[in-house]
Amino acid sequence: MDEKTRTRVGGPEDPREGLEAVVALRRTLEALEAAQVENAFVAGWSWARIAEVLGVSKQAVHKKHAERIRDRYPGEPPRRKGKGA
């Protein structure tokens, strides 16, 4: 398994490329999480439900995303009925 991972990810012949891929993935992951949480919020999902699917606490999701998303959707967001907090 170790050998397989090695040949597939980055490759030991250029460690920098492999490490930079990690950085690129991290950046993309952050952006993707922000986008999908926003999408879920706009679709009317509660923080609790979003958190459950992400597998983290409601507080964690709220802390990380609420301020940004509320700034983007002042007032009542579309299709959102205020269920959950």
Partner 1 sequence: MIFNRFARETRRCVVAAVEEARMLGHDSIGDEDLLLGILRADEGVAAEALSSLGVTLEGAQEESEGMLSEALSSVGVSLEEVRREAGDAFEVSIPDERRIPFSPRAKKVLERALREAVRVRDNHLGTDNVLLGILRNEDGTAVRMLARLGVSPEMLEERLYELRGRAAS
Burial class (CB in 10 A: 0-12, 13-18, 19+), 27: exposed
Backbone angles phi, psi at 74, to 5 degrees: -65, 145
53 binding partner 1? (CB under 8 A): no
Which residue matches tokens 């920098």? 16
User: Is residue 60 involved in binding partner 1 (CB under 8 A)?
Assistant: no
Whole-angstrom Cα distance, residue 5 to residue 37?
30
Which range of residues in 19-27, 44-52, 54-62, 74-82 is near partner 1 by CB under 8 A? 19-27
Scanning 18-26, 52-60, 76-84 for contacts with partner 1 by CB under 8 A, the matching segment is: 18-26
Residues that bind partner 1 (CB under 8 A): 9-10, 17-18, 20-21, 23-28, 30-32, 34-36, 38-39, 42, 67-68
